[in-house]
Amino acid sequence: MAAGALTDPGEADAARVDSDQALAAAYESEWGRIVATLIRITGDWSLAEDCVQDAFELAIGRWPREGVPRNPGAWLTTVAKNRALDRRRRSTSEASKLREVAIMQELESWGTESPDDGIEDDRLRLIFTCCHPALTLEARVALTLRTVAGLTTPEIARAFLVPETTMAQRLLRAKRKISNAGIPYRVPPDHVLAERLSGVLAVLYVLFTEGYSASSGERLLRNGLATEAIRVARALVQLMPDEPEVLGLLALMLLQNSRRDARIGADGELLTIDEQDRSLWDRSAIAEGTAMLELARIRGEAGAYQLQAAIAACHAAAATRDATDYARIATLYDRLALAHPSPVVALNRAIARGMSAGPAVGLEQVNLVAESKALDGFYLVPAAQADFLRRLGRMEEAANRYREAISLVSSDPERRYLERRLREVGH
Amino acid sequence: MEYMMFVATDPEAEPYDPREDNIAEWVRDVDARGIHVRGDRLRPVEDATTVRMRGGELLVTDGPFTESKEWIGGYDIIDCADLDEAIEVASKHPMARFGRIELRPAWPLEL
């Protein structure tokens, strides 16, 4: 760059755009890595977060003026590491001298060995520790967003609609428990790995659905959570490429999220898959989700996430409602109900049967679920009965069922959907 | 790390079945692994005595400090590498099935 180039406003803008892009990319790829290694070496979660936050703040100030460093990750690592060394030197903490010396030595040598030394392992350790079952589900979700995804405490508080102080307390309590209760910083050994991995996936799916199914008012704000969940799931796929359910979960999230822009109508009402404008579906997300599903299928027996992803893929592959392969969807629900029975799966299976074999069969199947009483008070049961009754032309009975569903529903977009249906059957 | 295992009853657990009570085996296992510091059953709450000093006066009362449907029926102090090991040890205790176990890390008082 020529001397004085930065006085040219055009060049200065270009430098800013470059550094913004580099910062965004570094946030994606470096935040979790650097925090994860700092936690392993120091055992101090707050120190690790603060030092990495400092490094990024310094980058925000410097990169636009001085240019993006050749290796942004190494630059950020060095800054964060030096901050950590400073802080440890200043606070001659209560920890024993011997341990302190070991920590300082390990910190100092960090980054001087082979570049990727154990860093991938550190990220996995971090994810498993954040999702440890001895923490509350709320704490697991918040901690994953803070340390793995690098969201700030105010951002997480806004996403969960709680005051910032509440979220700060929640995070602090979780970090204290990790240290006080002796929650280990490691990838669990083989004999508990499957169980703990399913716990990690459950946290990511909660994170995703929090964002995906957010009610209308907070929709824009909370969609970010679905994106973060996908980002962490992508990292997990890189770290555990042979685990079919990790691939299955990522596929499921991508395929569901591909319909994000199509699922809410002009007036904020919820649109069912049949009513959505399919041209609004995100084709690249569908392609990636379908590819992930294929990888999962190759790697192993179909788990719950993979089966759900396969169902989502059937919808995604259909150009119109009538082209949907409901017979295959019903078969997939049969398998899901067999391997992971639950009342909600039973209801979905009944609906899929109806879509494939006709409304009379659907009504009969949903009535069986209703008789089991397991879903008493759940609005989707009368809503599904109403839909099949409507298709059978039994409008009076349909209206009664829609009214019952409306009395049970809590989310606004869903209520509006039901009210619209009630008007359509002439009430 | 040292953990206290509070071995408690739980009205929602499966009913106690003496044939399935493998406590002797559990004790043998934790002793062999060098994890067990000590532990025992506790007499029922009817035999509890609560002690308080209030305004310099000793108050001794019959019974536990809280009345509840669940009570602590025993304790074990275990010395484990971390919480995962403590969870594994606790999960094999028969009362994890017939009751419930609360794990509390010791908080060393540095005097």
Question: What is the separation of C-alpha B103 from the centre of its chain, rounded to a whole number of angstroms?
Answer: 8
Contact criterion met (CB < 8 Å) for A182 and B87: no
C-alpha of A200 from chain center: 11
Closest chain B C-alpha to A183 CA, distance in angstroms: 5
Q: Does A183 touch chain B (CB under 8 A)?
A: yes
Please give, rounded to a whole number of angstroms, the shortest distance from the CA of B88 to a CA of chain A. Answer: 10
Contact check, Cβ <8 Å, B83/A182: yes
Asked if B108 is an interface residue toward chain A (Cβ–Cβ < 8 A), one would say no
Question: Does residue A134 sit at the B interface (CB-CB below 8 Å)?
Answer: yes
CB within 8 Å: A134 and B83: yes
**Could you tell me if B89 lies within 8 Å of chain A, comparing CB atoms?**
no
A132 to chain B: which residues are within 8 Å by CB?
83
Record: contact B83-A183, CB cut-off 8 A? yes
List, as one string, the DSSP characters of A273-330.
GGGS-GGGS-HHHHHHHHHHHHHHHHHSS--HHHHHHHHHHHHHH-SSSTTS-HHHHH
Are residues A182 and B107, on separate chains, in Cβ contact within 8 Å? no
In 3D space, the residue among B35, B33, B15, B31 whose CA is nearest the CA of residue B23 turns out to be: B31
The larger pLDDT score, comparing residue A20 to residue B32, is at: B32
Inter-chain touch B1–A192, beta carbons under 8 Å: no
> Are A292 and A301 spatial neighbours (Cβ–Cβ below 8 Å)?
no
Residues 74-133 on A with a CB inside 8 Å of B are 132
Q: What is the pLDDT of residues A154-200, one digit of tens each?
A: 988 888 888 999 999 999 999 999 999 999 999 998 888 988 999 99
Amino acid (one-letter) located at B33 = R
Q: Name the amino acid, one letter, at A410.
A: S
- Fold annotation for B2-105: Alpha-Beta Plaits (3.30.70)
Inter-chain CB proximity B87 and A183 less than 8 Å: no
Instruction: Return the higher-pLDDT residue of A153 and A1.
Output: A153
CA gap A69, A53 in Å, rounded = 18
Angle, helices A9-42 vs A45-66, to 10°: value is 160
How far is residue A139's CA from residue A155's CA, in Å, rounded to a whole number? Answer: 15
Chain A: nearest CA to B86, how far in angstroms? Answer: 9
Average pLDDT score over chain A: 87
Name the least confident of A202-216, A394-408, B43-57, B81-95: A202-216
More confident residue, A100 or A218: A100
Per the structure block, which two tokens stand in for A26?
């570094």
Higher pLDDT, A103 or B104: B104
Chain A residues with CB under 8 Å of B86 CB are: 182
DSSP tally for chain B: helices H, then strands E = 3, 6
CB contact under 8 A, A184 and B107: no
- Residues near A400 by Cβ (< 8 Å), separated by ≥ 6? none
**Average pLDDT for A28-35:** 88
Mean pLDDT of A302-307: 93
pLDDT tops 90 at residue A27: no
Q: Can you name the residues that pair with B6 across neighbouring β-strands?
A: B75, B102
Q: Strand B72-79 and strand B36-41: pairing?
A: antiparallel
At A116 the pLDDT is 54
In B, which residues are within 8 Å of A181 by CB distance? Answer: 83, 103, 105
Residue owning tokens 């190494």? A74
pLDDT tens-digit map of A89-122: 877 655 567 777 888 888 888 876 655 555 568 8
Which positions in chain A touch B1 (Cβ < 8 Å)? 182
Domain ranges of chain B: 2-105
A184 and B87 within 8 Å at the Cβ level: the answer is no
Residue B76's beta-bridge partner residues?
B5, B39
Which pair of tokens denotes residue A69? 């460093």
Proportion of chain A above pLDDT 90, given as a percent: 59
Mutate to test the interface with A, among B2, B79, B84 (most CBs of A within 10 A): B84
A contact residues 153-182, partner B, Cβ 8 Å cutoff: 180-182
Q: Does A360 touch chain B (CB under 8 A)?
A: no
Nearest CA in chain A to B103: A181
pLDDT tens figures, A181-192: 999 999 998 888
Q: How confident is the model at residue B48 (pLDDT cuts 50, 70, 90)?
A: very high
List residues bridging with A62 in a β-sheet: none
To probe the interface with B, which of A94, A177, A179, A183 has the most B CB atoms within 10 Å? A183
What's residue A213's pLDDT?
Answer: 64
Express each pLDDT in A38-84 by its tens digit.
Answer: 999 999 999 999 999 999 999 999 999 999 999 999 999 999 999 99
Model ipTM value: 0.88
Q: Report the C-alpha gap between A427 and A424 in whole angstroms.
A: 7
A180 chain-B contacts, CB cut-off 8 A: 105, 107
Percent of chain A with pLDDT over 70: 91
Interface contact B83-A188, CB threshold 8 A = no
Query: Which two structure tokens, joined as six digits, stand for B98?
Result: 């017939």
Q: Which residues are within 8 A (CB) of A312 and not within 5 positions of it... i.e. 6 or more apart?
A: A251, A252, A255, A256, A289
Look at residue B93 and give its three-state secondary structure: coil
Cα separation of A36 and A77, whole Å? 11
Judge whether B80 is closer than 8 Å to chain A, CB to CB: yes
User: Residues of A with CB below 8 A from B88's CB?
Assistant: 192
Asked if B83 lies within 8 A of A192 by C-beta distance, the reply is: no
Interatomic CA distance for residues A161 and A221, integer angstroms: 10
- By CB atoms closer than 10 A (0-12, 13-18, 19+), residue A320 is exposed
- Cα distances (angstroms) measured from residue B110 to each of A38, A94, B79, B107: 28, 11, 18, 9
Q: List, as one string, the DSSP characters of A54-114.
A: HHHHHHHHHHHHH---SSHHHHHHHHHHHHHHHHHHH---SS-HHHHHHHHHHHHHTTTS-
> In angstroms, rounded to a whole number, what is the distance separating the alpha carbons of residues B84 and A180?
13
Write the CA distances from A367 to A344, A363, A390, A398, A399, integer angstroms.
Answer: 14, 6, 15, 13, 16
Which site among B1, B4, B83, B104 would you substitute to test the A interface, given the most A Cβ atoms closer than 10 Å to its Cβ? B83
- Say what the pTM is: 0.82
Contact A134 B87 (CB under 8 A): yes
**Which of A41, A34, A183, A52 shows the shortest CA–CA distance to A119?**
A34
Q: What is the pLDDT of residue B64?
A: 86
Interchain proximity B84–A188, CB inside 8 Å = yes
